Structure 1
């Protein structure tokens, strides 16, 4: 089961934990996450270390989601400004963002539902790769927001986030 992430801070913490652990031992493992976020920027990927990536998607928390996640107002600004870089392969980019694509292409500030994989293939810093991109419409965002605010939604998030220690490798 993939872990649902609506707070980018949590995924950043998972990455930090995995990067620290990968310095100790080499593991060939992966984790999948479903990330609901806002698309903030698309930047070219120019690092020779990980060939196969074409660009980086910069995503952040959806507006108003962080207000429901955090009860502490002091963290509001910090969480609101959290960003995460996600890497996109050339094939996914072409099938999603190509002008000739039959579906609507994601635009900046769209709400997106991303399937993300964290691969540990021996790289010094583990990176998140986007496997799938779906655009969310306003109705879907509102339904998700209402669900997460409900007691059942809170229980679902707790179950989703407690399915295992995501800092440990999957074998």
Structure 2
């Protein structure tokens, strides 16, 4: 499992993971919130985003994507997705909308190098993922059915960005 995925799921090396394959709908709309106004000040920020999103197969609400461009790193949060909570963006046209960027001052916690951040954030994420993916076999099917129902939403009619 890639390290970035382990971080996203708050896993440690050696943790046991149960993987279930699901089919995700094709995304039609994504609302993004850059963590810095610097990204929006790029003259070609939509082209930069389009190129960066080619490295992603799926998007999920709440995820952060990192874009490296001309020696700078830009972090962008996924605020909303349609038609579902999680979508595939492979070979699809996705309309992109941007929220007003924040300079991420209230969300970022600065720590000294080598200091571990409290595990409460990982515990929150773990609880969040446990809502959809239970460890017990009896609950797996029920939770997955709820998850799939939640994925189905009305499709918007908006401007498209080719990814």
The two structures share one fold, judged by TM-score above 0.5: no
For normalisation by structure 2, the TM-score amounts to: 0.32
For normalisation by structure 1, the TM-score amounts to: 0.31
- Higher strand proportion: 1
- Higher helix proportion: 1
Structure having the higher Rg: 2
